[in-house]
Structure 1
């Protein structure tokens, strides 16, 4: 069950440009570190693909780009991505549960599973789109980490409530995928900052952000990408 109404996403996408994520973005770096460049006719598929910023990173690695999203805005992606120089395949405005299980070399979602109460079933559905020997990459925010959770609870609670915090666990993902016979290549946390959708003009917000910035710097100097502060969770696995 998706806990966020589709109307929320449709409204939020109005001012988001279709472009590639920065090469310095932590998730871009995870993709490049653990997903191999495309073989001839390699296809990548993103679940919840709009606006495709990280899918573009896979496009730079030679993959033909495909995706599904429930927002009608997904119809704009083939032309927009082609204009950016990427090779595109099929993009569908649909629920991922209703798709035929076409198989891909890479299956990805970036900030998707954490909006579902039945997130283990959503992860399982990801694997059903994989070719033998294909790669799976899943990322989510890390609101479960101690300092990340406290920060969002204090100043960004509405945004926190749009996420299923219990889903943000690379340890649980790893156990599930290994039970399914997949090989986990890498999993953990990345990034040492926090992002929010808070009202930023209050004194309380500024005080809290200043305090947590100092905490993050201290923890990161001792243990970079620690689970308590890492901005994102990730896992990369390979099918049999």
Structure 2
């Protein structure tokens, strides 16, 4: 339990406060170019999304690439996932769902592609959580992990104005070199481990924040977007995400 920065109650409360989780996932969903390249070049047929409830990326992979997809999470509310599938023209049988504790579960099979988005930063032991991902990867398969970069301006904003949410994240793991080193030590070939995205800024439960804070956030967001549109670049100071891609040889 000392490895956890969140617990089940946190996630139940987190998802219950979301007004409408059933959205139509577009073809240009975040990280679509990276995923498309992996799927085509590696001839991916099976994939598992870890910690991904309600299953946006599982739906994306099924909807646009017709992969054999599994969703695994500690908390799954089936009616929400069923509604999300229906919104995207899919049926409940199209995605296998495993509701379990990742730290107790032993993979029954391995996959061509193992993904997580915003998961590993909620644990203190980064090497341990990444190695649990690797246990699901087939030899020759690909590991793809993304996480927020709270060492950027967005992180300062979170720490200053939303410290409760900021404290739910392991800031030390937000280091591409650290992530690459863990994968290399596990015997994987690192394809990329880098800062990603030009600029973004967000607030957890933004609608509940004071008006002046929302206006301040919007002004920073607009300024950052204008700057990085004129001078587009990925950087530790501004990029909102980190992506890690590695292959099990």
Same fold (TM over 0.5): yes
Whether 1:56 and 2:65 are equivalent positions in the alignment is no
1:57 aligned counterpart, secondary structure: helix
1:38-187 to structure 2, matched below 5 A, reads 39=43, 42-59=45-62, 60-73=64-77, 77=81, 81=85, 84-85=89-90, 88=94, 90-101=96-107, 102-145=109-152, 147-187=153-193
Once residues 25 and 236 of structure 2 are traced to their aligned partners in structure 1, the CA distance between those partners, rounded to angstroms, is 23
Larger mean CA deviation between 125-134 and 171-180 belongs to 171-180
Once residues 61 and 122 of structure 1 are traced to their aligned partners in structure 2, the CA distance between those partners, rounded to angstroms, is 27
CA contact (8 A) 1:18 1:52 kept: no
What do you get for the CA RMSD once the two structures are aligned?
Answer: 2.7
1:206 Cα offset (Å) = 2.1
Once residues 34 and 42 of structure 2 are traced to their aligned partners in structure 1, the CA distance between those partners, rounded to angstroms, is 16
1:107 aligned counterpart, secondary structure: strand
Compute the TM-score of the two structures, normalised by the length of structure 1: 0.86
1:54 aligned counterpart, secondary structure: helix
Which of the residues 30, 34, 41 maps onto 2:34? Answer: 30
Whether 1:230 and 2:239 are equivalent positions in the alignment is yes
Once residues 34 and 212 of structure 2 are traced to their aligned partners in structure 1, the CA distance between those partners, rounded to angstroms, is 36
Once residues 212 and 76 of structure 1 are traced to their aligned partners in structure 2, the CA distance between those partners, rounded to angstroms, is 31
1:109 Cα offset (Å) = 0.7
